[in-house]
Structure 1
Amino acid sequence: MDNIVNPHDKLIREVASNKPFATDILQNYLPDDVVKLIDINSLEISKDSFIDKELKDYYSDLLYKINLAGRPGYVYILFEHKSYQDRLAPLQVLEYMPKIWRLHLKQHKKEPLPVIIPMFLYHGQSRWKDTKFSDLMENSASLLSAYVPDFEYVMIDLTQYSDEEIKGTVLSRVVMLLFKHIFDPDIIEKLPGIFSLMQEIVEAEDGLHFLETILRYVFSTVDLSVDEIKGIVETSISPEKGDEIMTLAERLKNEGYQNAMKDTEKLIKNAEKTVKNAERTTQIEAIQMGLMIKFKDQYQKFMAVIDKVEDIEKLKQIKQAVIKVKDEYEFRKLIEQ
């Protein structure tokens, strides 16, 4: 599964490298009093990720370096891919913040630790109510609160925004609207309205690149035929570019099919390998048990050789030999053949 790219992650990483998109996120979703403290011209987009390997299918993260109140700082965004909320997600942020500080200290050893503003981008189907790390804990005596780590985080809960309230450049609005509605049962009916915003993008110099990015995401998350997407594009974006976009859509659909086949083949091979490894382990354990019974403490000197045997049939032969051989000499002669 490590090589199967999550479509939400692929889209957010593609657009996050677009500086106007990053600027939109900060200016439109940070609190107004914080926006006044940021120097947007100092914005740097980091390629670093802090998500644990086993969680990459459920989360993406973005790190923006930016001056806050005249000092170097960071905005760290955790994006939850799931349609339901994980209440322990703030605990992950608490784990990742020290990693960001250590990364910063490698380049600025003698400076104070920078401020990190944590943000969550959430597009699940239920409202996210909490905004403080301490909300994870039971109410405890006020005297104990001094010993509890705490911070507030900025929650971008797309379920709480109307479509009209989602602001920014066309690309930003299209991406955020797709994230907002992607789990809706009627997402196909909403696509024409979202795609109609892209008329301006298609005419831009790199417009088809971003259209391709959006189409890849839609094909990966919504069950659509090429004809359906062509109809949506022609009515909502540009009839004149219908053939060009149709060709692009067909290519992406075919690529998606081929990639799915490759992923399936990879999963089958991994499953076969897992089964083979399990069978090999079973055979070796059976041989070891037989040797311990037959040769007592002397079994260990044989296991070093047996552990190197990969062939399952050979291991089965050795297992049978454990029962039949009369002494250690005869057994050693057999396994060294």
Structure 2
Amino acid sequence: MTNPADNPHDRYFKEAFSQIDILADFLNVYLPEALRGQLDMTSLVRQQDSYTDDSLSEHFADLVFTAQLGSKPVQIALLLEHKSYTEPHIHFQLNRYMLNAWEDQLTHKRLLLPIIPIIVYHGRRRWKKQPISNYFSTLPISVLPYLPSFDYVLIDLSTMLERLPAFASDYARLTGVLLQNSRQKRVLERALREIGDSINRLLAEERGERFFKTSLLYLTWVTSLTKVEAVIIFRNVSQEADNYNMSLYEQLIQEGVEKGIKQGREQGIEQGIEQGIEQGIKAMLKLNMTAEIIAAAMELPLDQVNNYIAHIQAKQA
């Protein structure tokens, strides 16, 4: 059975939406006005409870928060729909989730709290909301009162770029853009250009730098992009990202060297270190570094670096 913790979308989602300011920003943008006006965003507190059973765990990576709604506490169940397609019968899954939560509250003799289910959807197709009555064909009006009728909040990230000006947090902008566009390299780069200033501001602070690194790793988890390619995409959309990339060069080079040495040993090549150096130089070339910079970084003579480059280019021809 699939564990949501092993799903990179869920991991990044939880990393981002566990941060109260990011969650509050999305709620401020996507909640219905009447609900938004009553919900005290400063009172949001994450709970450690989880109400996903074996069946629901394949669909949801749940985050549960409590907050004040007017003078009353309300529980928010923030659920991630992590499929690439829409869920035609989402009410049934939500209903099961809410029943699990209320049964737990009753079992532990806690105050029963209303639950506002929130779906964060990042598929390609537009999500079409419908009432639960639509699941049943030719339903007589007399039967409607007997159906479990309830609504949910939809955060449809296909509208993310249209709503960018409404977001207050650079963290939320980057989160939404990556979740929605990570599967499409060209679209992703265009979307990141839209938030280039946000990336610059993030990298001007320590917390933002950590979050940027997490975002970079997320891209390599969910796409065929290598770390080098992900670095190049970010350097093309943000000056600060380009500057920050300098601190990643040594890491990428070291990974290339270690990979080359490992390959050399596995193949029984005595000069495994030569393979490692070559891998490191290949990584640096992908970052558009000149032979002079490579020579300085790897503390090698320039003519030796040029020989490596010529050898690499000859193999690629």
Assess same fold via TM > 0.5: yes
Q: In the alignment, is the contact (CA less than 8 A) between 2:44 and 2:66 conserved in 1? A: yes
AA of the residue aligned to 2:36: V
On the 8 A contact 1:121/1:156 being kept in 2, the answer is yes
Which residue matches 1:281?
A: none
Question: Any idea what the Cα deviations from partners look like across 1:250-290, whole Å, max 9, x if unmatched?
Answer: 78999xxxxxxxxxxxxxxxxxxxxxxxxxxxxxxxxxxxx
C-alpha distance in structure 1 between counterparts of 2:73 and 2:211, whole Å: 31
Superposition pairs of residues 159-308 of structure 1, within 5 angstroms: 159=158, 161=159, 163-166=161-164, 167-184=167-184, 186-190=186-190, 192-193=192-193, 196=196, 197-235=198-236, 236-238=238-240, 239-247=242-250
Q: CA 1:251–1:211 in structure 2 vs 1: closer, same or farther (change >3 Å)?
A: farther
**Residue pair 2:4, 2:60 contacting (<8 A) in 1 also:** no
1:97-144 deviation line (CA, Å, top 9, x unaligned): 1222233445654x4x32211111111122222243333233411111
1:58-77 matches, cutoff 5 A: 58-77=59-78
Q: What amino acid is aligned across from residue 10 of structure 2 in structure 1?
A: D
Partner of 1:26: 27
User: Secondary structure of the equivalent of 2:21?
Assistant: helix
Structure-2 change in CA distance of 1:42 and 1:27 (3 Å):
same
Distance, in Å, in 2 between the alignment partners of 1:144 and 1:80 is 30
Deviations 1:33-85 (A, max 9, x none): 11111122221112333233455454322212111231111121221111111
Greater shift after overlay, 7-16 or 181-190? 181-190
* Code of the aligned partner of 1:10: R
Q: What letter corresponds to residue 135 of structure 1 in structure 2?
A: N
Return the letter of the residue paired with 1:127: R
How far apart are the structure 2 equivalents of 1:221 and 1:140? Answer: 42
Counterpart secondary structure, 1:67: strand
- Show structure 1 runs of 5+ residues with no match: 255-337
User: What is residue 147 of structure 2 aligned with on the other side?
Assistant: 148
Q: 1:107 to 1:252 in 2, by over 3 A?
A: farther
Q: Which amino acid aligns with 1:95?
A: R
CA positional deviation for 1:192: 4.3
TM-score by length of 1: 0.66
Q: Please give the per-residue CA displacement for 1:142-180, whole angstroms capped at 9, x wherever unaligned.
A: 111111111011122222x15141323111111111122
Gaps of 5+ in 2: 258-317
- Cα–Cα, structure 1 residues 78 and 8, in superposed 2: closer, same or farther, change >3 Å? same
Look up the match of 1:96: 97
The 8 Å contact of residues 66 and 73 in structure 1, kept in 2 or not, is answered as yes
Secondary structure at the counterpart of residue 178 of structure 1: helix
TM-score by length of structure 2 reads 0.70
Contact 1:80 1:122 (8 Å CA) reproduced: yes
Instruction: Give the alignment's Cα RMSD to 1 decimal.
Output: 2.8
